[in-house]
A and B are shown apart, each in its own frame.
Chain A
Amino acid sequence: AQSVTQLGSHVSVSEGALVLLRCNYSSSVPPYLFWYVQYPNQGLQLLLKYTTGATLVKGINGFEAEFKKSETSFHLTKPSAHMSDAAEYFCAVSKAGGSYIPTFGRGTSLIVHP
């Protein structure tokens, strides 16, 4: 079975500060990993994903995440937060190979203060 844990249901940062959203996963086989973002009153949209190749993945809006197999982590970072980054962020995991249904974490709400 696969599962995802997002540490912290809410993360608060000041505008211009580093954003770090934590995601740890468990999977019995090599994983595919995703971050999705949900802006208020909208559906989710893909921010970035790791399937194979380079473990540092760059996404939209300056976000990036690094797959660390030894730590079973896929933390999301952005060097400098912007007010427009305020949203709900979801980490998801799926199994590599085959056609598996991804499992989503419970989400982390990012709050950006001026």
Chain B
Amino acid sequence: NAGVTQTPKFRVLKTGQSMTLLCAQDMNHEYMYWYRQDPGMGLRLIHYSVGEGTTAKGEVPDGYNVSRLKKQNFLLGLESAAPSQTSVYFCASSKTGSGNTIYFGEGSWLTVV
């Protein structure tokens, strides 16, 4: 089973460029998430979605936009990349919230120069 798939795995951007990270899950999960992971900061929630067509802000949403046009896909966009957005990004999904297990993708390494 593929689970949660993220593309691209690695990307280098110049400051001010835009890009989209793609996430797909094949588990028919309702909830999807985008996190960023930075040294010493743990996992921080950027945006999440509790169903197709819905999105909500997480802990660190500034500088990012998301869309969930299809249940299986959750896109994370950077409109104008900044060096502070250099990070490892993880997409994840779960059946719903609360006691359900969250399944993570393998991560996307983004460097903004």
Contact = CB atoms under 8 A, between A and B. Distances in A.
Contacts of A56: none
A77 interface: no
How many B residues touch the partner, as a band? 20 to 34
B98 A94 contact: yes
A106 B97 CA distance: 20
Interface in A78-108: 90, 94-102, 104-107
B106 A46 contact: no
B90 to A, nearest CB: 6
A100 B107 CA distance: 23
B42 A90 contact: yes
A42 B106 contact: yes
Interface of B: 4, 31, 33, 40-43, 45, 48, 50, 58, 90, 92, 96-99, 101-102, 104-107
